[in-house]
Amino acid sequence: MYISNMTHFLDEAGNIPKQMPKEARELANFLALVVDETTKESSSPVIYTTIRCFSKKCEGTINSEFLKANNEIHWVCSKCQNEGVISDWHNTKWDNR
């Protein structure tokens, strides 16, 4: 399980830095997509996105939901069950609430 704090991937201006190592930048972009899609559909209990899983050879897509108890976003792959939670995504440029 991936436990990610969105602010750890952002610079002072709230952007994903280009100087970040490639793997970290790819994960940050993935997390940004999940936050973006999840906060667009905040009224549904489970959000079925078109975001592809980043696990090698997996063709699944990401499903997400709000965890109201701790205000995090939980995401899970529809095929391989790769999953994680994203905290501190509020007020980032991908927060569509």
For the beta carbon of residue 21, count every other beta carbon within 10 angstroms: 8
Per residue in 48-90, pLDDT (tens digit) is 999 999 998 999 999 999 998 899 999 999 999 899 999 999 9
**What is the residue range of 11's domain?**
2-87
The pLDDT of residue 62: 97
DSSP string, 34-55: HHHHHHHTTTSSSEEEEEEP-S
Look at residue 16 and tell me if it is in a domain: yes
pLDDT of 92 above 80: yes
pLDDT in tens, 10-44: 999 999 999 999 999 999 999 999 999 999 976 77
Within-domain flag for 10: yes
Does 79 map to a domain? yes
Residue 97 lies in a domain: no
The model carries a pTM of 0.92
Pairing of strands 2-5, 83-87: parallel
Residues sharing a CB contact under 8 Å with residue 59, sequence separation 6 or more, in sequence order: 52, 53, 79
As for how many domains the chain has, the answer is 1
Q: Tell whether 93 is covered by a domain.
A: no
Non-local (6+) Cβ contacts of 4 within 8 A are 27, 31, 84, 85, 86, 87
Q: How many CB atoms lie within 10 A of CB 8?
A: 11
The token pair that represents 45 in the structure block:
């209990």
